[in-house]
Structure 1
Amino acid sequence: MAATFSSQNRTLISSAALNRPKGRIAYWTVLTLIVAVFTLVFLGPLYWMVIGGFKSAQEVVANPPTFIPKHPQPSNYHTAWSQLKIARLLFNTLYYAFGALAFQLVFDVAAAYAISKLRPVFGKLILGGMLATLMIPAAVLIVPQYMTVLKLPVVHFNLIGTPWAIWLPTVANGFNIFLLKRFFDSIPEDLMHAAAIDGASPLRTLWSIVLPMSRPILGVVSIFAVVNVWKDFLWPMLVEPDPKQQPINIGINSLSQGVPENVLIAALAISAVPTLLIFLLFQRNIMSGLTAGSLKG
């Protein structure tokens, strides 16, 4: 009987070739080179930034550059922390980030729950419109957003220089709503019907059943919300002119006049630490949350 061959078992290199000594050597050589190249590409700039903070001002601009500081100066980081008021800028950034997170959790969860479980008449059309906004470059929306917060429609409030100018544009996040909606779709309808039979209102069902089951995706949305505010540059620079109230990326830029380049690089390295820690600590949560809800059980 002829052996059947499944297309799912096809690979670039056959298992028989990999079992040979030359095949294993070639495989591990290529794999090691690929991993080394991608590691260098992704970690190279980070390494360059960190060691730049240890160099002197002359060594930073030296040509050819040095890959290891000749005379390390750890005091550059202390100078950056005190001279650029990093502690205050970090507090501002946390304030904006967690404020945006609170609004996103309230409004994005409500929008996703309504589209997924309450199913309004034009729910699919609304979701399609939200997803269509993801196709629009963020830079295109800068001018209309700025005109909106400059004179808020109906109430005619000027939000420039207030945290609301940073918080409100982050609320309508089509990507987060889509992630939440996909996860809510995976929650069995039997649970929803059982809650309705017991007399639970849609709001009570959301609070008592849906949200406790949605912790993985809520964690992912929370991380995305914090990181998006943390790394944003152009919008906070436009709507928050006071350097003392700016987030860290903008504050470093505003307070960097007359600061040596090595101290400025040290400040940038400090500003990158929180987001790196968030990724390293929660990378498993990010991956599990993104894949959660992709298959219905």
Structure 2
Amino acid sequence: MSTRTLISPAQLARPRGKALYWTVFAVVVVAFTLVFLGPLYWMASSGVKDAQEVVQTPPTLVPKSFTPGNYSRAWDVMGLSTLLFNTLFYAFGALAFQLVLDVAAAYSLSKLRPVLGKAILGMMLATLMIPATVLVVPQYLTVLDVPIVHRNLLNTPWAIWLPSVTNAFNIFLLKRFFDSVPKELLDAASMDGASPMRILWSIVLPISRPIIGVVSIFAVVGVWKDFLWPMLTLPDPSKQTLNVGIYSLSNGVPVNVLIAALTIASLPTLIVFLVFQRNIMSGLTAGGLKG
């Protein structure tokens, strides 16, 4: 039985139908390419223009004044090396905490089945319905004076790491993958005397590399692209992230140098997506194991 499509094989076999199909296909591909790559091209090309050409109306498609030195100037003037190091430090610190705590939470909810586990999962998923901006004020007050210990976490990495740990979406992704691990495999390891921690470390984690890779990418990109929270909790210029630092220094910098700095700031996440896009899609659709 053949698969049903919008265009029947008989129509596609005709010269007119084939020509119409490929014409529509080419137009759609070119249109979507322009929509997605157009802003990236404008940003990269504007970084090599002079200040007058950047603000020119209508904008030039091909730069008339080619000044690639804007990128090196942006790197030096805006201190992108320090901002880049700060962002990497915060991002991979948040990743480490999420891998330890979120994996433990997801494994507990999936395989250890604690009391009221379903209720805890339901309340955890309900937090995804709350807009992030609503949580800014209570989170800031908590960071300003942490209950019990009464510590001020402003201008410290903990202000970035701690709020990023409790990521309900990542815990849900991990739990869904852990649910697909055959129970017989874990029972066999348990009968051999393996403890729950040993089962997690030696059996569950090695076969969970796809979803752990996806969660890792989400964790790093989430900290990398965040702007509002680092701006509130990291007022010290020497400890700011890339996005906040560029924003703080944008007033006294020419617009072409600023665009060059924004291009440099966007490259790491773009490269991560291009390199790991297959892993992202395979991890998100991973719902079972082939036996």
Give the TM bin, normalised by the shorter chain. Answer: over 0.9
1:87 matches 2:87: no
Separation in 2, partners of 1:158, 1:253: 25
Aligned ranges 1:1-297 → 2 under 5 Å = 9-294=3-288, 297=291
Separation in 1, partners of 2:66, 2:205: 50
Q: Which amino acid aligns with 1:255?
A: L
Separation in 2, partners of 1:130, 1:67: 48
**What do residues 149-172 of structure 1 show as CA deviations (whole Å, max 9, x unaligned)?**
111122121111111011111001
- RMSD across aligned C-alpha pairs, in angstroms? 1.3
Report deviation, 1:19: 1.1
Q: Which amino acid aligns with 2:144?
A: L
Separation in 1, partners of 2:197, 2:289: 25
Tell me, which stretches of 5 or more residues in structure 1 are unaligned?
A: 1-5
**What do residues 38-94 of structure 1 show as CA deviations (whole Å, max 9, x unaligned)?**
111111111110001001001111111111110110000010000001111110000
How has the CA–CA distance of structure 1 residues 151 and 296 changed in structure 2, closer, same or farther, with 3 Å as cutoff?
farther
Q: Which amino acid aligns with 2:42?
A: W
Q: Which amino acid aligns with 1:28?
A: W
TM-score, structure 1 normalization = 0.95
Identity of aligned residues (%): 70
How has the CA–CA distance of structure 1 residues 193 and 295 changed in structure 2, closer, same or farther, with 3 Å as cutoff?
closer
Which moved further from structure 2: 275-284 or 8-17?
8-17
Separation in 2, partners of 1:255, 1:244: 12
Separation in 1, partners of 2:39, 2:188: 54
How has the CA–CA distance of structure 1 residues 295 and 29 changed in structure 2, closer, same or farther, with 3 Å as cutoff?
farther
**What do residues 248-269 of structure 1 show as CA deviations (whole Å, max 9, x unaligned)?**
0111111223100000000000
- For the 8 Å contact 1:17–1:23, the answer to whether it is kept is yes
Report deviation, 1:295: 6.4
Q: Which amino acid aligns with 1:234?
A: L
Q: Which amino acid aligns with 1:143?
A: V
Moved over 4 A (4+): 294-297
Q: Which amino acid aligns with 1:129?
A: M
- Partner of 2:186, secondary structure, is helix
Separation in 1, partners of 2:190, 2:180: 18
- For the 8 Å contact 1:56–1:262, the answer to whether it is kept is yes
